[in-house]
Amino acid sequence: MTNKVVVLGSLNVDTTLHIAQMPKPGETISAQSKTNSAGGKGANQAVAAVRSGADTSFIGQVGDDELGGFMVDALNGNGINTEKISKISEEGTGSAVILLDEAGQNCIMVYGGANQAIKPAMADECEDLIASADILISQFETPQDVTLRAFEIAKKHGVTTILNPAPATEIIDGLLAVTDLIVPNETESATLTGITVDDTESMDNNAAKFSEMGIDNLIITVGDRGAYYHTKNDSGFVKAFKVKAVDTTAAGDTFIGAFSSQVKKDLSNVEEALVYAQKASSITVQRAGALPSIPTSKEIAAEYK
């Protein structure tokens, strides 16, 4: 069965500056090279989903500019339904500047632009599309009130909702009540719960805190260590596949998109879907760029026979 995935999220043109090491405060350094590519958490997750076989649609917004056309073309080129991407003239298309060092670590500065100008009414305009989905994903690079409205619509129609709270910020009232699964990384989880993530006990404590906050289903990604999961029925840890990282930019987004392509609506196969997602992200980190680095299901199958 093919999952039908809808992503509500951000569309950013990424400019990556390749550097030897991260600059210190006040330091001026030279970039070794510069690359431009399509990105944004929403776009990355949608491409990861469609490349792993999901029937994928996108809800988002771009500026009435050249970058906006570039982003829509990039999604269309991957076979993603872009009919619900709107265009505005008041804001420019979202963009990001990424500093990427030789160890494969990055720092990212984001201009929200049109992404941040989305209104909750857009969710209502997309009700038929949301209702037709198996999975609806959103992040925090678009306004939370839009996600809240979209998730409310999703729950009305029995659609499973996945929230990626990145970048981490205080969650608005009501959002967790309509979220089926929350997927932060360890830093984001600690920001939201106030509990540092460093071992299994602390992950269990984070899960307990999230339960207090109103959500029982949790995945915490912990980089090259793997991913912790906790549901109403089970919990555990899936180790990452050991590879040499070149660029970690889209690793987390690849993980979520690939996961959404495999997970069942009732989350009954979380561990199996996690293993697949780890395989996908392990390939992503070995390549440069955001969208260009995301593997297809055939590439994942070939790498992990």
Q: Does 247 count as an annotated binding residue?
A: yes
Q: Of 249, 247, 205, 197, which Cα lies nearest the Cα of 226?
A: 197
12 annotated among ligand-binding-site residues? yes
In a domain, 84, yes or no: yes
List the chain pLDDT tens, one digit each, 305 residues: 689 999 999 999 988 899 999 999 999 999 999 988 898 999 999 999 999 999 999 999 999 999 999 999 999 999 999 999 999 999 999 998 989 999 888 888 889 999 999 999 999 999 999 999 999 999 999 999 999 999 999 999 999 999 999 999 999 999 999 999 999 999 999 999 999 999 999 999 999 999 999 999 999 999 889 999 999 889 999 998 989 888 887 899 999 999 999 999 999 999 999 999 999 999 999 987 778 899 999 999 999 87
- What confidence score (pLDDT) does residue 4 get? 98
> What pLDDT, on a 0 to 100 scale, did the predictor assign at position 247?
81
The answer as to whether 123 is a domain residue is: yes
Task: Return left, alpha or beta for 267; rule: phi > 0 is left, psi -120 to 50 is alpha, else beta.
Answer: left
What does the pLDDT read at residue 135?
98
Structure confidence at residue 260 (pLDDT): 98
Asked if 3 and 54 touch (Cβ cutoff 8 Å), the reply is: yes
Q: Distances in Å between the alpha carbon of 103 and those of 122, 206, 247, 248?
A: 40, 29, 8, 10
pLDDT reported for residue 81: 98
CB 259 within 8 A of CB 128: no
Annotated ligand binding at 40? The verdict is yes
Residue 169 located in a structural domain: yes
* Residue 289 confidence (pLDDT): 75
Neighbours of 121 (CB within 10 A): 10
Q: In the numeric block, which tokens belong to residue 259?
A: 């996961």
For residue 3, being part of any structural domain is answered with no
Range of the domain at 210: 8-22+32-299
User: Is there a binding annotation on residue 199?
Assistant: no
CATH number at residue 62: 3.40.1190.20
User: Does residue 2 lie in a domain region?
Assistant: no
CA angle 112–138–110, rounded 5-degree value: 20
1 found inside a domain:
no
Specify the number of domains making up the chain: 1
Instruction: Return the bridge partners of 100, or none.
Output: 18, 106
Any known ligand binding at 147? no
Instruction: Please give the torsion angle defined by the CA atoms of residues 294, 296, 300 and 301, in that order, rounded to the nearest 10 degrees.
Output: 180
- Examine residue 27 and state whether it is found in any structural domain, yes or no: no
Residue 223 assigned to a binding site: yes
Q: What is the pLDDT of residue 14?
A: 86
In whole angstroms, give the CA distance from residue 215 to residue 181.
Answer: 7
Positions marked active-site: 253
Contact 67, 42 (CB under 8 A): no
- The C-alpha atoms of residue 235 and residue 218 are separated, in whole angstroms, by 9
Residue 27's alpha-carbon distances to 22, 30, 67, 104, in angstroms, are 10, 10, 30, 20
The angle that helices 41-51 and 251-262 make with each other, rounded to 10 degrees, is 40
Residue 86 belongs to some domain of the structure:
yes
